[in-house]
Structure 1
Amino acid sequence: MPPRPEETEGTTDMAQNTHVLLPDETFTRADYTALRAYCLKLPIERIASLYYGEDSPQVEEGLERFLIRMRDLLVERAIENQPAFATALTHARKTGNISAKALDILIQAADLKAPVPSREDAIGKWLRPRTVRSLRGDGIDTLGAFADFVNERGEAWWRGIPRLGAKRAVILMTWLRQHKTLGDINPAPRRVAQMPAYELLDPERTSTLKPLGTFCLPVNLDGQFGVNRSSTFCFITAMDDLAAIDCYLARFEHQPHTLRAYRKELERLVLWSVHVAKKPVSSLLVDDCESYKRFIQAPNRAFCGRTAQRGSALWRPFAEKPMTASSQRYAVQVLRAAFNYLVKVRYLAGNPWEAVRDPQVIQLINPIKVERALPPESWETLVETLRRRGEVQDNRQDRIALAALLLMGDSGLRRSEVVRVLRADLRPSEHVHGVWMMTTLGKRNKQRLVPVSPRTIVALRKHWADHGLDLYDPAEQERPLLVPLTVPPTGAALARHQHREDTAVQGYSVNAVYALVKTALSRVKEELLALSAEMPDEMTVEQIETMAAASPHAFRHTFGTVAVEQGMSQAVVQDVMGHADSSTTKLYSKSRAKHIAEEAARFYAQDNK
């Protein structure tokens, strides 16, 4: 019985299909490396962790089964293409022992075509497991999705992908562009945030000098085409010099003193570069840096002026008084560090300041002004006067000033440390009854323990009582120790101390503590001068004037001097004051001048005998 047409047709189709030349199975570079490791008897678990992800097709098939199948397929291809190797390769397949050298011959003899990735391939087939895990966190599963992601996100596509980084991103971009089967890789241009409409700085008019953050630069001076710009991939999004400087200064946003000092030096350089050198900062070379070093020794009069607010038309980058040699040296060091950063992030090609020597500075006998410390008698007179004034009900400012002074003079705190201390940082000592300890954060973000005197606790309790609070109330642990009693009617002060339920109570600023202390010293000066006529033996007019002229930092020196002279060990004083070097603490062991004078008097007394 003849077959039905549909049966004949089906049989014919089946016969034809058995002769269709299916494309050869291809393998990736990772597959070849894995096979080499397998031939070297590396554990299969180790091979899987090194070259494949958990959901790679090779692992899902069974990695050892896949590698054996791959080995046998390569042997068959090699025998077909190079019959001369048939005997040796057949024996190797039977025994399963293939040396690394034999594997090289096998791959060459197989004459395999280089594998070509396609958009439908899973990323785990071509990329390392660590990279695969990072990309899948953003929903990228195939090479096509990866290519589209790069094109849509732009040149900085890798930002925000954990554990990827710029270096690996460059390697991946290069690999994607090498394979045209994945489509064109043309990342969208880098999107630059719109800058505020700052006034354009006129390089020909020094009367238009303005601080950083209030102006923009002409295109020929903004550094987009600076001669020292790096040609390699830049790690920051800055397109011009001002944006690059902003990136550098942003690193110090939590260090206000450092930020202010570094910004001052950088804005001086920018203004000099624009108005004097007539070139972008990113075009400055070594000879330009040397010229600037000479410039800061005697700046143009147009660059100098009295201290003024940054928003004032009277603001100038330099003071009327010439910079000291140490200030000039500091300026060069700050600029060298800033340029080093710009080189590291590949904004600049090189650092011209590396070839510039620091200005010579005379080594001072005593770099720390411990001589500004008040004598113990003057210090105690000041404390007692403020305490007595604070007994008057209305003198609330004297009570808070006394608390601030005692934190500096009895505990050795800096102003910046005084304003950061919270109630939670103050607690009784676990070891000695009647002694209070305080945790404070000092320079270099280093915590330290400092003692707090009983009279400081009394002063703090009175200050808190002025706010209607109890210092021992456990519900007020997050409150600053010192909080203003009145707020000046300025915009900044009102914004800082505006109380909302979702914000914590704000304490003093560093500058406000300075004003608080200096105002209190003026009141004490007036009272003591009035009493000096009645009690001339208490303090001389000169001593009163010296005490009133003291800066808040002088009270920290007072603590160091009094503590050492009254027998506190230098090791303890070093810990309390947070000195990184013990040589700094030794300066408080009598002032050097006083020590020399006493020893000289003893020596001269021997000659007179």
Structure 2
Amino acid sequence: MSDHPLSTVVPQALPPTLSGIVGTNRASTGVTRQIEANDDVAAIGLWLAEYHSSPHTFRSYRKEAERLLLWATQLRGKAVSSLMREDVLAYEAFLAAPLPTWCDDALARHGYHRRLFTGPLSDRSRRQALGILAGLFNYLVRAGYLAGTPFALQPRRRGARGTRRTIERYLERALWQDVLAKVEQWPQTSPREKQRYERARWVLRVLYETALRATEAAQANEGDLRHRRGRWWLHVTGKGGVEGDVPVSDALMADFARYRTFYGLLPTPNSNGRCPLILGIAGRTTPLTATAVYLVVKDALVRVADALEPADPVGAARLRQASTHWLRHTAATHQAEAGNPVHHIQHNLRHSSIATTSIYLHAEEDARHASTTKAHAGASHDPYDKDGTA
């Protein structure tokens, strides 16, 4: 049990009424099972195992599974496989107002007796948590472990169908150019400053040009760069094990050569090499972790924000919010604004559905804003008619 994804949550065996062995929502004996797991911890652990190749997703999903498992068994007095729709509604309310004992700063960050919340979850975080758990229950139903899912009764939220969402977490082109320009102004008088500059310069460019997630960038190596018909491509194995090839420009390959040369490496990639695309600290050939890549980007954007603050406080505030995933959104948005076909952007981002990619299409929204504000500019600023009514 020690190597089980939930071993730190359930250190001892649960009684049958809480373990799920006799869960009231367990599938009937006549259903063909796709998994051998016969209790909730084992079944949830198998679901988590499907995401081992994506560490960030795995950690996020495990956190939500742990919270639900502990809430159900400790506070609700039920097995996860006995939860009903009323329980789901109660859990949603709990996420908005978790017990103070679950948020205590004095608790450890790891282990059985640890802090599970830092405070109430926002609306967005609650929706994300419930979405992850809905995916868990759907998986267990398809596996023949559960008879049904109480999440299936959740009403569709307004705007979920028929209303196109747009992504807002991206940097406008002018602000992105400011980022690149400000990084070029960083001091480079010492070896440490030069290393910091070259690393930030490369990491920002490679994440923007390829639209990689932080985890994908951390896992990529020189052997993933492929040369076909005079063009460079980067082979990526991403979220959910989805593979794809991302176009790499000659300009980015020149940046790659510069970055490698700075650390005394050959400027061209070895097709059989395992040297990471983003080198470790001081140019070591051990790769950075996804968290380290994230921190490099955050540090760079905060430094740029500090430099930009006097001239552009709004842009500086936006940079302080930004992260590695903003660069992915920024890349997709700029590709869309440049007129790239949406199906090309879909392949570049490795989206399974073109509807997901469509959230980056801002042109129609911008045109509506322009036509509306232009109409207002030519009209009277008096909000009242001659008879005094609005």
TM-score tier (shorter): 0.7 to 0.9
Shift of 1:587: 4.2
In the alignment, what sits opposite 2:384? Answer: none
| Residue 481 of structure 1, CA deviation | 0.8
**Matched residues in 2 for 1:318 and 1:591: separation?**
40
| Aligned partner letter, 2:235 | T
- In 1, the alpha carbon distance for the partners of 2:75 and 2:267 equals 58
1:383 to 180, 184, 192: 180
- The match for 1:255 among 25, 30, 54 is 54
Change (3 A) 1:475 1:447: closer
Indicate how the Cα distance of structure 1 residues 593 and 548 shifts in structure 2: closer, same or farther if over 3 A, else same. Answer: same
- State whether residues 307 and 319 of structure 1, in contact with CA within 8 Å, keep that contact through their aligned partners in structure 2: no
Other-structure match for 2:75: 276
- 1:522 and 2:302 correspond: yes
Report the CA distance between 1:249 and its aligned residue. 2.0
CA positional deviation for 1:335? 3.5
Partner of 1:353: 150
Give the whole-Å Cα distance in 2 for the aligned partners of 1:240 and 1:458: 54
Q: Determine which of 459, 464, 468 is the counterpart of 2:264.
A: 468
Amino acid at match of 2:167: K
**How big is the shift at 1:391?**
5.6
The residue aligned with 1:547 is: 319
Corresponding residue for 1:374?
Answer: 171
Looking at structure 2, the residues matched to 586 and 398 of structure 1 have their Cα atoms a distance apart, in angstroms, of 35
- Give distance in 2, aligned partners of 1:335 and 1:573: 29
**Contact 1:419-1:482 within 8 A present in 2 as well:** yes
* CA distance in structure 1 between the partners assigned to 2:241 and 2:54 by the alignment: 9
- Contact 1:424–1:477 (CA<8 Å) still a contact in 2? yes
Q: Secondary structure at the match of 1:296?
A: helix
Larger RCO (CA within 8 A; separation ≥ 6): 2
Shift of 1:583: 4.5
1:507 maps onto 2:287 in alignment: yes
Determine the structure 2 residue equivalent to 1:316.
Answer: 115
Once the two structures are superposed, the pairs formed by residues 273-422 of structure 1 within 5 Å of their partners are: 273-304=72-103, 310-311=109-110, 315-324=114-123, 327-343=125-141, 345=143, 347-348=145-146, 350-351=147-148, 353=150, 357-358=153-154, 361-363=157-159, 367-370=165-168, 372-389=169-186, 392=189, 394=191, 395-422=194-221
Aligned to 2:387: none
Which residue in the other structure is 1:494 paired with? none
In the alignment, is the contact (CA less than 8 A) between 2:8 and 2:112 conserved in 1?
no
**Matched AA of 1:216:** Q
Cα distance, 1:405 vs structure 2: 0.7
CA deviations on 1:96-134 (whole Å, 9 max, x unpaired) are: xxxxxxxxxxxxxxxxxxxxxxxxxxxxxxxxxxxxxxx
CA drift of 1:520 comes to 2.0
Indicate the SS of the match to 1:461. Answer: helix
1:482 CA displacement: 0.7
Pairing 1:574-585 to 2, within 5 Å after superposition? 574-585=346-357
Contact kept? 2:167, 2:359, Cα under 8 Å: no
The 3-state SS of whatever aligns with 2:210 is coil
Mapped to 1, the partners of 2:197 and 2:294 lie a distance apart of 14
Q: Percent identity?
A: 28
Larger Rg: 1
Structure 2 residue 351 is matched with structure 1 residue 563: no
Q: Which residue of 2 aligns with 1:501?
A: none
Alpha-carbon distance in 1 for matches of 2:252, 2:178: 16
Distance in 2 (CA, whole Å) between partners of 1:586 and 1:339 is 28
- The answer to whether the 8 Å contact 2:305/2:320 transfers is yes
- Report deviation, 1:604: 3.6
1:484 aligns with 2:280: yes
Indicate if the aligned counterparts of 1:399 and 1:459 stay in contact, CA closer than 8 A: no
Rounded Cα–Cα distance in structure 1 between residues aligned with 2:325 and 2:173: 16
What's the Cα RMSD here? Answer: 3.8
Greater than 6 Å deviation, 4+ residue runs: 306-309
Q: SS at 2:153's partner residue?
A: coil
Decide whether the 8 Å contact of 2:278 with 2:287 is kept in 1.
yes
Q: How far off its partner does 1:404 sit? A: 1.2
**How far did 1:239 drift?**
5.1
Separation in structure 2 between the aligned mates of residue 313 and residue 243 of structure 1, nearest angstrom: 18
Give the 5 Å matches for 1:452-467: 452-467=248-263
- Quick check: 1:306–1:315 contact (8 Å CA) kept in 2? no
1:513-549: CA deviations, max 9, x gaps? 11011112233344455xx5xxxxxx42433343343
C-alpha spacing 1:411/1:318, structure 2 compared with 1 (3 Å)? same
Could you tell me how far apart the structure 2 residues matched to 1:450 and 1:359 are?
38
Give unmatched runs, 5+ long, in structure 1: 1-194, 199-209, 488-496, 498-504, 533-538
| Cα distance between partner residues in 1 of 2:277 and 2:219 | 8
Aligned length: 372
| TM-score normalised to structure 1 length | 0.52
Measured against aligned partners, the alpha-carbon deviations of 1:296-330 in whole angstroms (never above 9, x if no partner) come to: 34333333457987416884333413341x54455
Report the CA distance shift for 1:363/1:230 in structure 2 as closer, same or farther (over 3 A).
Answer: closer
Residue 254 of structure 1, CA deviation: 1.9
Q: Is the 8 A contact 1:449 1:576 kept in 2?
A: yes
List aligned pairs for 1:56-455, cutoff 5 A: 195-196=1-2, 212-213=8-9, 215-219=11-15, 221-229=18-26, 232=29, 236-238=35-37, 240-304=39-103, 310-311=109-110, 315-324=114-123, 327-343=125-141, 345=143, 347-348=145-146, 350-351=147-148, 353=150, 357-358=153-154, 361-363=157-159, 367-370=165-168, 372-389=169-186, 392=189, 394=191, 395-428=194-227, 430-431=229-230, 436-455=232-251
Amino acid at match of 1:602: K
- Equivalent pair of 2:337/2:363 in contact (CA under 8 Å): no
Secondary structure (helix, strand or coil) at the match of 1:596 reads helix
Distance 1:543 1:411 in 2: 23
Residue among 351, 362, 366 paired with 1:594: 366
* 1:422–1:477 Cα contact (<8 Å) kept: yes
- 8 Å CA contact 2:83, 2:150 repeated in 1: no
- Unpaired segments ≥5 residues, structure 2: 381-390
1:63-114 deviations in whole A, cap 9, x for unaligned?
xxxxxxxxxxxxxxxxxxxxxxxxxxxxxxxxxxxxxxxxxxxxxxxxxxxx
Residue aligned with 1:410, SS: helix
Does residue 603 (structure 1) correspond to residue 375 (structure 2)? The answer is yes
